[in-house]
Amino acid sequence: MNNHVTVLEIDGNALEHNLNYFKKKLNPETKILAVVKAFGYGSDSVKIAAFLQDKVDYFAVAYTHEGIALREADIKTPILVLHPQIQNLQSIVNYRLEPNLYNFKIFEAFLKLSDEAPLMNYPIHLKFNTGLNRLGFWHTDIPKIITTLKETNHVKVASIFSHLAASEDLEEQDFTINQINNFAYIAQQVYKHLGYEPMLHILNTSGIVNYAKAQFDMVRVGIGLYGFGNDDKETALLKNTHNLTSIISQIHIIKPGETVGYNRAFVAKRQSKTATIPVGHADGLSRRLGNKKGYVLINNQKAKIIGNVCMDMIMVDVTKIECNEGDQVIIFNTQDMLKNIADISETIVYETLTAISQRVKKMLKK
Ligand X SMILES: *Cc1c(COP(=O)(O)O)cnc(C)c1O
The site for ligand X (CB under 6 A) is made up of: 35, 37, 82, 163, 204-206, 220-224
Compare residues 51 and 161 and give the one whose CB is closer to ligand X.
161
Which of 300, 281, 298 lies closest to 290, judged by CA?
A: 281
Q: How far is the CB of 28 from ligand X (least distance, A)?
A: 20
Which of 166, 176, 163 lies closest to 230, judged by CA?
A: 166
Question: Which position's Cβ is nearest ligand X?
Answer: 222
Residues 6+ away with beta carbon under 8 Å from 251: 273, 274, 275, 276, 318, 323, 324, 325
Residues 6+ away with beta carbon under 8 Å from 112: none
Q: How far is the CB of 296 from ligand X (least distance, A)?
A: 26
Q: How far apart are CA 183 and CA 137, in angstroms?
A: 11
Give me the active site residues, please: 37, 262
Q: How far is the CB of 22 from ligand X (least distance, A)?
A: 9
Q: Do 244 and 6 form a contact (C-beta atoms < 8 A)?
A: yes
Compare residues 6 and 204 and give the one whose CB is closer to ligand X.
204
Q: How far is the CB of 304 from ligand X (least distance, A)?
A: 31
Q: How far apart are CA 124 and CA 122, in angstroms?
A: 6
Compare residues 240 and 274 and give the one whose CB is closer to ligand X.
240
Compare residues 82 and 89 and give the one whose CB is closer to ligand X.
82
Q: Do 164 and 134 form a contact (C-beta atoms < 8 A)?
A: no
